[in-house]
Amino acid sequence: MKKFKVITQKDLPLIAEKLKLDKEQIIDMQAVSAVLPFRVNDYVVDNLIDPSDVPNDPIFQLTFPQRGMLEEADYRRMRDLLASGANKSEVKLAADQIRCKLNPHPAGQMELNVPKLNGEAVSGMQHKYQETVLFFPTQGQTCHAYCSYCFRWAQFVGDASLKFASREADQLLNYVRDNPQVSSVLITGGDPMVMKTKILRRYIEPLLASGLSNLHSIRIGTKALAYWPYRFTEGEDADDFMQLIEEVRAAGKHFALMAHSSHARELEPEVAQKAVERVLNAGAVIRCQAPLIRKVNDDPNVWAQLWRTQVKLGMVPYYMFVERDTGAKAYFEVSLARAYKVFTEAYSQVSGLCRTVRGPSMSASPGKVLVDGITEVGGEKGFVLKLLQGRDPGWVNRVFFAKYDSKATWLDGLKPAHGEDRFFFDRFMDAAPLGSARKG
């Protein structure tokens, strides 16, 4: 079975020649990766990055730390500490202080989304939308490579207080059994596909064996089709995963890989296409989602090509997200107005088969907020917004309006339109943390 070679901060000088990096770039990356997680592998470097286009290459931007990901003062602080030979504790203290400013858990993940079972908070799970429970297996809290924009970057910096993780398969089973409104379990991370299939079975098989009539689907969130497709094509473990998919389907459950597909180049290698084919032939559906990221895919032609490629291979375009308000957001974000323009121009280029995709969507505290249009009503220009998912299920599919702001990049940067002083969900969000009051 093929194995990949992990590349981390200490290895940056070793790949400088291959990627045509100069000394200053290496120093910049080492300073940034002392704060934000960095991990890539030789498959990504050898197959997905064009060295002649570094640093502008989109996959290089997607996986390697860049100076602009930190505010200049924070960058200087980390660079000076490393240059002076500061000890590990000094470097860690400075890094922790910078991380705390970067909103490590956006959209109320820690405060609002943690469910309860028998009156006690359940670790390693989130329950924001009534139908879907997110489960974070401890063994899956890393990735084959890290996306530099990742909104779950806090999972990877070695601070247990910032991490969601669970080893308790029984807790997952009991929670789904005790909450009949739950119809879908999403196993996420990190990337669960770093785990051996026998570990995945420990979490999935009890769900199948318990005859849970309310459970209709099992999903796995993964970037492995892009960053290590051999996980699905080589060796007994890959074969065992295909068997697991078949077992889920035989139990009458839908099985989906929620693939993070940021750029069509990720799907160009022959092994990636073979991986997609194997997963589909085993009976799974592959639904594709990614955020709109400046310097990576902020171009309608890139998205149109991505969606066409996905459909050609049998995958389903699912979501274009807005970059979340966390981590290195300032480096990657685009305005909501531009996000809508990019989505619309890409959408207009493709056939109806690609138009299963929804976006641009913000995964904000109240729910998944779609930027559904820019229009003028009563002489006032504004955004047409719609909740695709809601923390309160009564909010789903509700349309509301915000004043047009060409610079706004997130929901909290918008103001209600048409004389309203607050959005309809604000008073509910203030009154009670709905996610923390889940049945259990």
Query: pLDDT digits over 53-63, tens only?
Result: 999 999 999 99
Structure token pair of residue 97: 């202080």
Q: Which amino acid is at 354?
A: C
Please give the backbone phi and psi of residue 256, each rounded to the nearest 5 degrees, phi first: -130, 135
Q: Is residue 164 pLDDT above 80, yes or no?
A: no
pLDDT digits (tens, 9 = 90+) for 36-54: 889 999 999 999 999 999 9
The model's pTM is: 0.91
pLDDT digits (tens, 9 = 90+) for 64-87: 999 999 999 999 999 999 999 999
Residues above pLDDT 90, as percent of the chain: 77
Mean pLDDT of the 308-322 span: 98
pLDDT at res. 43:
97
Structure token pair of residue 14: 């070793």
Cα(368)–Cα(258) distance, rounded to whole angstroms? 16
Structure token pair of residue 186: 């999403």
Question: Could you tell me which CATH number the domain at 106-437 has?
Answer: 3.20.20.70
| 104-108, 204-208, 373-377: least confident range | 104-108
Domain boundaries, the chain: 6-100, 106-437
pLDDT digits (tens, 9 = 90+) for 394-438: 999 999 999 999 999 999 999 999 989 999 999 877 765 544 333
pLDDT-derived band at 155 (thresholds 50, 70, 90) equals low
Neighbours of 24 (CB within 10 A): 9
Cα(407)–Cα(409) distance, rounded to whole angstroms? 6
SS (H, E, C) 42-104: HHHHHHCCCHHHCCCCHHHHHHCCCHHHCCHHHHHHHHHHHHCCCCHHHHHHHHHHHHHCCCC
Residues above pLDDT 70, as percent of the chain: 92
Q: Give how far the C-alpha of residue 203 lies from the chain's centroid of Cα atoms, to the nearest Å.
A: 21
Residue 270 gets the label, from left (phi > 0), alpha (psi -120 to 50) or beta, of: alpha
